[in-house]
Every structure is written in C-alpha cells, then in structure tokens.
Structure 1
Amino acid sequence: MTRFLTLGEIMVEMAPAPDSPGLFRLGYAGDTFNTAWYARRLLPASWTVSYGTVIGDDPMSTDLAQFIERQGVATDTLRRIPDRTVGLYMIQTREGERSFSYWRGQAAARTLADDPDWLDSIFANRAVIQFSGITLAILAPEARKSLCAALARARAAGSHIAFDTNLRPLLWDSAEAMRSGLLQGAAVSDTVLPSFDEEQLAFQDATPEETVQRYRAAGASCVVIKNGEAPCHGWSQTDGTVTCTPPDVARVVDSTAAGDSFGAGFLAARATGASLGTAMTRAAQLAAEVIQHPGALAPQIFEIGESS
C-alpha cells in the first residue's frame, strides 16, 4: 500500500494583510491538512496523499476543494453535504501577540463521523491514516466513538494509524473529557505523537518517560514526544528508546506548523523504511526549517532543496 491519508478539519483563515492595516487576507489552514501538505512533498511520486474531511455545497466549500487539489493533495476522500459550509477563524495581532476568533457552528467537518460506511470506504487500503486531537475534539462524544471504531477496523485490516494529540483545551467540554478523548484516540493508534508541554498541562507529567508509558499502556507501538528546543524522546517496540536533539534555530519566525510538519517528516520517513532515530532526526530538521518561515506552509523550503 502506498496511500497516505490525513483526516480532520481545514478552515478558512482570515489573517491580517502585512502591509495594509485593517485589511485581511483569505487563506486555508488546518493541522492535519498541513501534515498532508508536507507529506505530499516528502513522499515519492508513486505515493498518493489524500485529505479526508466533510465540506458543504456552497461556493466557499468548492473553493476550498479546489485549493486542496492545487496543493497536490487528492480530494477523492472529501464528502459534501447540503446546508453546511466550512469553518472560519480570524487572526488578530496586538503588540506582537496573536489571538484567534472561531466560527465553526455550521462547519460540515463536525459531521465527519456521521457516516461509518463512508469512513470505511476512505480508510480501505491506506498505508497510513493520520488524525489529531482536534479531529476528535470537534466531534460529539458518540461521533468520536464512531470514528475511533472505524480507525480500529482500518488498523485491524493493516493500516498504520498515527495520532497527533495536538491539544486545544477550549474545544473540549472539560479537562476530563479531553484526557478521556486523548486516551480513546491513542487506544486505536500504532503511533502517538504528543507534545510534552501539552502532556504536562493535561496529565501533569513530570518527565517524557511518563508520557511514553501512558501511551504504551494505551496500546501504541511507537511514541515520539515533541519537546520544543529540548531533545525529542522516542520509543518503539522494534527500536527501543531513542532521543534526538533538534537543530539550533537562530530566529523563530512562525511556529504555527512546527508539530504538523514534524509529524509529516516522521511518518513519511517511517513509511519509506527509516529507523526510529533517522525518522526523528528528519522530522526535527524539517520542523526547524519550517519555523523560520512565515505561515503554516513553507514551499520555499522545497524550492531550495530542488535547486541545490
């Protein structure tokens, strides 16, 4: 199988225009879509990279689908439903600090798990299926169970399930619901990709080893912990424990997609045969490059690579 799928929500983004105060620039963004975007550029051309989500039947949803396709990501796993649209968020910056306002009440992606047969169809014969804590958080509890059941079926059929925990506490009904949801996602996953600062927030972990042990106990066969400038900690059943020190970065421009690109780098490397340590190193190197450029997607990184 050479088919890579990420699953979640991609939203309309309204960001301040750099040189025009009061004006906003329209774009599209979403954590799991960012991972698909980077995976498409890292995996061989023989691989298919698709994005799974639900959109509406309105013009904005059509524009979004066309955007995904222009990025080289397949849209065969999009589902449309009437009388819905896509979510929207706006970025505002004051004294260098960014804040976010969200409008997602009519977002079609909230119905992602309402059709189990559709989920089974898009999960079939995928080498890798990646989802995130945000994917789970936007769903109602019963829908969350339905999605995890479909992922478990795909895992049993041979797909490698990867879970980026990616915490957004405000999306969850409570801290307890968030902790329960994370363990629910981990229980159906082969690889779990948490961030240590978020695990400290959610579970009060004192060390990365505690994080590894929790997700091992949940059933994961591989856990890789992102830890900012500090060493990454990884464990897998085949490679044991591995640490990796990220490259030094002189100036962080935009950390928006640090974790998303790390996940893409790691999963693409593992899918093409890299060891745990090699995959972690490649992922850390990519994330270090990404955060030195503005925006979640950094095409200039790959343009440089192609010309060198």
Structure 2
Amino acid sequence: MGSLLALGEGMVELKLDETGQLIQKFAGDTLNAAIYAKRWAPSLDVYFYSALGKDMFSEQMHHYLESESLKTDCILTSPDANIGIYAIQTDDTGERSFTYWRKESAATQMIQLLQDDGGSKRLVQADCVFFSGISLAILSESDKEQLLTVLAELKEQGCKIAFDPNYRARMWRDEAHAKEWMSKAYLLADIVLPGLDEHEDLFGHTSIQDVVDFMQQHEVAEYVIKAGKDGVYAYNQETNCHIEFNPAPTQVDSTAAGDSFAGTYLASRVSGETLLVSIQNADKVAREVVQHRGAIVDSKIFNAKFK
C-alpha cells in the first residue's frame, strides 16, 4: 500500500445542467486528481491538504472528501475566510469557460496556517506529494516561497514531489512572473506533467524536443508530456515511451481531463506500475471523463467502467 498527498485548492463548483437547474459540486485541480487517484487505486492512502473556512460550504466539502475516501487529517481551518467558488459554462464542443470568486479564500491562507501549526511536520510523509501551478498561483509571494521550502523538506525526508504546471495566464502578474515560479517548481520536482500547449504559451516551446530539453536543463527525473493529437510522451532515467492519441467518441466536458490524467498516473506509479502502463491507465480515465459533465464523474459510472 502506498500513499499520495495532494496539496492545493478545493472550491464550490456551480454549473447549469441540461434542464437549466443550478448544480452545486466540489472541485479543484489537485482535489480532482486526488479523487481520481483514490478511485483508480482504492488501496492507496490518498490525503488532501488545503484550508477550509467555517462556512456551510466548507463543512459540506469536508464531508464530501470523506465520502470519496480521502484522508482529511491535514486540512486546516481559517478563522476568517470562506471556501472559494467558481461557475462553469460549457459550449457545444465541450470547451469550458469559468468565472471565479476565489480571492482571499481560505485556501489562499493554507501556507500561513500550516506555518502556524508545525510546518512540514504537520503534513503526512507520503510516498508522493502533488501540487500544481494553481496551488502556487493563489498564494502570496512569501507563501509561494514557503510552500517550496515545505516541499523541499518533505523531499529530503524521502517524498517524491510531483508537479503539474496547469498554467492559467490570468492567475499570474505576467509571463515573467509565471516563468519564475514554474521554473523553481520544476527544479524541485521529481515528476512533472506538462502539456505541450501550455509550454508553447509560456515558454515558446513548439516541439516535444523543446520540452525534453527544458526538462533536462531543470534535471527533472520523470516527465509526461501531453501533446494533444500527437499523443502522450513519457520519459524517466531508464526508458521512454509514447502512446497515440485516442479521441473519445464524444467530448461533452473537458473540465477535469488533465486532473484525472494526473491523478490516475500518479496512483499507478505509486502503486508500482511501469511508465507505459501508467500513461495508458491515465489516458483511459481521461478519455472517459471528458464524456461526462462536471469535474468528477459519478462514482457508479466510474466503477462500472473501470472496476
């Protein structure tokens, strides 16, 4: 049995269903990944670290995490901030747009609260700790630095650090700001899960080899490049592999395609699967997820497909 700790932001998700009814759920990039990791590998101990508020939605979210069998021991409570909220709108092709109410949410305080409550000692020493560019972007500058310090301490204790850049331009002051912190995260991480499109947007990389060269410059030991219609490329110090693009028969909602890929990949690797099997597993789950509305597929649908 292995263990995975996902660190980041959990939010209330609001979305209209086919009948125009407003549906409330919970989501967040690293949270979504944690849920799919646990669903894919039920024997894995999956922890989620964030900060929640004392509001009604925060309490509901805590119960929701437990209903998904995530371990919530690490979660801290802000005395004066509430959970963030976002609304999602999806067009006819499955592409989505978002409206956020997340500024000064409880999650933005998660590193301040952690430092007041024991620092890295407050977090479980998992086999793998996962964070994202969004986990970084929501924090103040000093808290960004402190987060990387906490992760470096966990790495020294034997935890592997995994990072998904999940680049969202509007969350950063400018490109230089994003590049600075992404580069610091890459230098720290053992595993990185970039998309070729986001590397093109941020770093001007236009080929797989450009990204490979960048990873080698940052001494990343293992990386998986999601290259859209060119498939998925994976590399570590022993081998490399590639799988072809296999589109879903219908794409309804791409909200959590990358998150489900990340969670399934990391669950597979922590469980001892090879690089190739892990990207195959992750691709299968992401392919299923985009055929359903919302970030988290109904557990009955997921289990019927994969169990």
Regarding TM over 0.5, the answer is yes
Quick one: structure 1 residues 215 and 119, their matched pair in 2 at CA, closer, same or farther if it must change by over 3 Å? Answer: farther
Q: CA deviation at 1:99?
A: 2.9
Among residues 95, 106, 110, which one is paired with 1:112 in the alignment?
A: 110
Q: 1:56 aligns with which of 29, 53, 56?
A: 53
Give the aligned partner of residue 167 of structure 1. 167
What is the correspondence of 1:115-264 to structure 2 with a 5 Å cutoff?
Answer: 115-116=114-115, 118-239=118-239, 241-264=240-263
Matched position secondary structure for 2:50: strand
Question: Residue 229 of structure 1: SS of its match in structure 2?
Answer: helix
Partner of 2:292: 293
- Alpha-carbon distance in 2 for matches of 1:6, 1:112: 13
1:160-199: per-residue Cα shift (whole Å, max 9, x none)?
Answer: 1100110111011111111111111111110000010010
1: CA distance between counterparts of 2:144 and 2:5?
18
Shift of residue 236 of structure 1? 0.6
Q: Kindly indicate whether the alpha-carbon contact (under 8 Å) linking 2:5 and 2:46 is maintained by their aligned counterparts in 1.
A: yes
Work out the CA distance in 1 between the residues paired with 2:133 and 2:98.
18
TM-score normalised per structure 2: 0.93
Q: CA RMSD in A?
A: 1.8
- C-alpha deviation, 1:93, in angstroms: 5.3
Which stretch of structure 1 is more off in the superposition, 194-203 or 219-228?
219-228
Amino acid at match of 2:273: A
Name the SS of the counterpart of 1:282 in structure 2.
helix
Deviation string, structure 1 residues 61-94 (Cα, Å, up to 9, x no partner): 1111111111111111110021110111122457
What are the superposed Cα offsets for residues 127-161 of structure 1, whole Å, 9 maximum, x if unpaired?
A: 11101110011011111110001101111111111
Q: Does 1:84 align with 2:81?
A: yes
TM-score, normalization by structure 1: 0.92
The 8 Å contact of residues 113 and 146 in structure 1, kept in 2 or not, is answered as: yes
CA distances 1:108-138 after superposition (whole Å, capped 9, x unpaired): 1111221335441244421111011100110
What whole-Å deviation, never above 9, does each CA across 1:7-52 have from its counterpart, x for those lacking one?
10011111113203xx42211110101100011112242x211110
Contact 1:246 1:285 in 2 (8 A): no
Distance 1:304 1:284, change over 3 A: closer
Hey, what's the Cα distance between the residues in 2 that align with 1:101 and 1:44? 33
**Given that residues 74 and 124 in structure 2 are in contact (C-alpha distance below 8 angstroms), is that contact kept between their aligned partners in structure 1?**
no
Question: How far did 1:258 drift?
Answer: 0.9
Separation of aligned partners in 2, 1:89 and 1:293 = 19
Whichever residue aligns with residue 100 of structure 1, its letter is: F
Counterpart Cα distance in 2 of 1:160 and 1:215 = 16
Distance 2:149 2:142 in 1: 11
Structure-1 separation of matches of 2:84 and 2:143: 18
Q: What amino acid maps onto 1:65 in structure 2? A: H
In structure 2, how many angstroms separate the alpha carbons of the residues matched to 1:90 and 1:248? Answer: 27
Aligned residue pairs total 302
Q: Provide structure 2 residue ranges, at least 5 long, that are not aligned to the other structure.
A: none
User: What stretches of structure 1 of length at least 5 have no aligned partner?
Assistant: none
Provide the rounded CA distance (Å) in 1 between the counterparts of 2:8 and 2:122. 13
Aligned to 2:305: 304
Any runs of at least 4 consecutive aligned residues in structure 1 with deviations exceeding 6 A, and if so which?
94-97
Q: Percent identity?
A: 32
Q: Does the 8 A contact of 2:2 with 2:271 survive in 1?
A: no
- Matched residues in 1 for 2:141 and 2:159: separation? 24
Change (3 A) 1:190 1:302: same
Separation in structure 2 between the aligned mates of residue 122 and residue 229 of structure 1, nearest angstrom: 42
Task: Quickly say closer, same or farther: Cα 1:222–1:3, change in 2 above 3 A.
Answer: same
Q: State the SS of the aligned residue for 2:139.
A: coil
